[in-house]
Structure 1
Amino acid sequence: MYKLRGHHLFCLLGYRGMGYSKEYVENMTRLHQTLRDYPKTLIQIVKGPDQLCEKYPNSGKYHCQDDNIYKRDALILEKMGIKIGQILSWKDIELCIRKFVVPSDIQIVCETCSWRSYGVCEEGIQETHEGKGLRKLK
């Protein structure tokens, strides 16, 4: 079982193999591929830093404890109807996305995210609506 915070549920949809450091990318890629290949993998929703934050580079301000990140987590979980502590399969998380989220929600809930301008998270939500699941990384 993996432990993830709210906004990382959206980050995984938009993940294309880019990240903050080599170690972060390797960790994110491993999780992304696991969820893509085994969508019944269980995820426990946590408040605050999770298993992806563990590999965030130690270079200045620790982004994972920022108040704006906590707000983003809360907005995304509220939008999806998911609570802290809940355990769901990745497949069930994708169902929540199809039911409660539209691609344009990224513009609001992820307004301050530096990755938003790439458009990949909106694409990921659209592909989830189309039943494609997580994108195969190149």
Structure 2
Amino acid sequence: MAIRLRGHHLLCLLGYRGMGYSADFCTNMTAIYETLRTEPDSVVELVTGPDDICRAYPPDELNHCSGTVHQLDDAVLAKLGFKTGESLSWREVCDRISQEVVPADIGHLCTSCPWQSYGVCQEGVQYIAEGRPLPAVGNLQ
């Protein structure tokens, strides 16, 4: 079964280090992250709108999954040359990121993201560019 991901989550996953909107969100995000990290041939389906990460967004928080992030999804997919509806392996996603994205792109693409200032997404892009594995959650390398 494919993991359904929207455009901007392709980059968010690179910077995931266990922080999130709630405990349930982190549990879900960690499961997805660790699956992709440890099983890079896992199939990813690119979708429009809410995806498998969004499904655990806290119901009591102002939800942005259906609103303002569509432009970011579009920008990330365009940068990577992907289209919604495509299915490919996480390894192929990371290969494309290493070819098309540099850490400084996060600052341009993700200007409205509250997590951008932590620098972890830039770090994740750098790991991929250097051919280094992403760290296990809670185990920064």
TM-score range, shorter chain: over 0.9
State whether residues 32 and 134 of structure 1, in contact with CA within 8 Å, keep that contact through their aligned partners in structure 2: no
Aligned match of 1:121: 121
Alpha carbons of 1:60 and 1:30: their partners in 2 closer, same or farther (altered >3 Å)?
Answer: closer
Q: Distance in 1 between matches of 2:111 and 2:42?
A: 29
Aligned match of 1:72: 72
Aligned match of 2:6: 5
Aligned residue type for 2:48: K
The size of the alignment, in residue pairs, is 137
Aligned match of 1:85: 85
Aligned match of 1:134: 134
Aligned residue type for 1:78: A
State whether residues 49 and 65 of structure 1, in contact with CA within 8 Å, keep that contact through their aligned partners in structure 2: yes
Shift of 1:60: 4.0
Alignment of 1:102 with 2:94, yes or no, is: no
> Which ranges in structure 2 are unaligned for 5 or more consecutive residues?
none
Cα deviations across residues 107-136 of structure 1 (Å, max 9, x unaligned)? 111000000000000000000001113222
TM-score computed with the length of structure 1 as normaliser = 0.97
Greater per-residue helix proportion: 1
Provide the secondary structure at the position in 2 that maps to 1:84: coil
Aligned residue type for 1:85: G
Aligned residue type for 1:33: E
- Structure 1 runs of 4+ with >3 Å offset: none
- Superposition RMSD in Å: 0.8
Q: Distance in 2 between matches of 1:111 and 1:62?
A: 18
> Where does 1:49-60 land on structure 2 (aligned, <5 Å)?
49-60=50-61
Aligned match of 2:24: 23
> Which ranges in structure 1 are unaligned for 5 or more consecutive residues?
none
Percent identity of equivalent pairs: 45
